[in-house]
Amino acid sequence: MEYRNLGRLGVKVSPLCLGTMNFGWEGLGTPEEDAFRIMDRALDHGLNFFDTANVYGWRKNPKPGEGVTEQIIGRWFAQGGDRREKVFLATKLYGSMGEWPNQDGLSALNIRRACDASLRRMQTDHIDLYQMHHIKRDTPWEEIWQAMEQLMAAGKILYVGSSNFAGWHIAQANEIASRRNFLGLVSEQSLYNLDARTVELEVLPACERYGLGVIPWSPLAGGLLAGALEKASEGRRSDENFRRRVERNRDKLEAWEKLCADIGERPADVALAWLLKNPVVTAPIIGPRNPDQLEGSLKALEIELSDEIMGLIDQIFPGPGGAAPEAYAW
């Protein structure tokens, strides 16, 4: 495993990030015993970067603030074997964890409460990367940064990241952090894949300028880039909304899957390799529902895409034309 620096940091993480959103989710999610096997197998293969969120683990009748996925991770850590010591642990806050005021968002009160609750659920004394799941426009950065500074001083978090931020949010956050002599944002978790390239306009340039590692979520576009034409009747891909997405993109997908077949690689692996080719990207998030899917994703680390293949991919899934404003202005 060749580890990468997370953005401008000295810390090293694996080039694939294990996403845990499926763990404990009723219905098509991953049962706890399978989640344990996936996490053990991830460590066996050298994956040390795990991502979760306090709201993950949806149930039909959830208790407010249950945090099912974080609890599963906590019980896995509790088995010992240096599991916690080997993992670079990322979680997120923002979503509602209760029915009363101040149980969501990014107020200093909720930041402190949410962090303590995540630590209890995951049975750990610190979070390596504490991420804001979304921007909260009515909360001043001075309040957010003061709360994060206090958590860092208490040893409860090591780094702060963002998720689903616009480029100007990243700039604003880090400029204010700089005035406070604070490290600021070190990563941005964005929707980014061949079918969703809007972040190339302003988010990726902001991340590059401020040294944030980009952590793409949904790198396979919800399965659209993973051989959707061949597997449209399997599992979640049998959903009517997914079938409509396939039909809307049929021409692109036919060209995409043919290109992947021509180079002898699986579409899912090529989609991940395409992201990994971008130097601003640290680690796409993979969300395996079983150990076999995890091991299949590792093949992406062996694929080297030539400039010619990258050009052909751009023809099938053209991006916005580069960074703003050149993408749309002279």
- Which residues participate in catalysis according to the annotation? 56
As a whole number of angstroms, the distance between CA 93 and CA 229 comes to 36
Q: What is the DSSP string of 154-221?
A: TTSEEEEEEES--HHHHHHHHHHHHHTT---EEEEEEE-BTTB-GGGTTHHHHHHHHTPEEEEESTTG
Contact in structure between 30 and 24 (CB atoms under 8 Å): yes
**Residue type at position 12:** K
Q: How many helices (H) and strands (E) does the chain have?
A: 13, 10
According to DSSP, the residues that pair with 281 across neighbouring strands are 214
Interior angle at CA 276, CA 267 and CA 158, nearest 5: 130
- The letter for the amino acid at 274 is W
Contact status, residue 14 vs residue 283, Cβ threshold 8 Å? yes
d(CA 189, CA 286): 13
Sign of the dihedral through C-alpha 192, 194, 195, 197:
positive
> What is the DSSP secondary structure assignment for residue 104, as one 8-state letter?
S
Q: Quick count: other Cβ atoms within 10 Å of Cβ 330? A: 4
End-to-end CA distance of the chain: 43
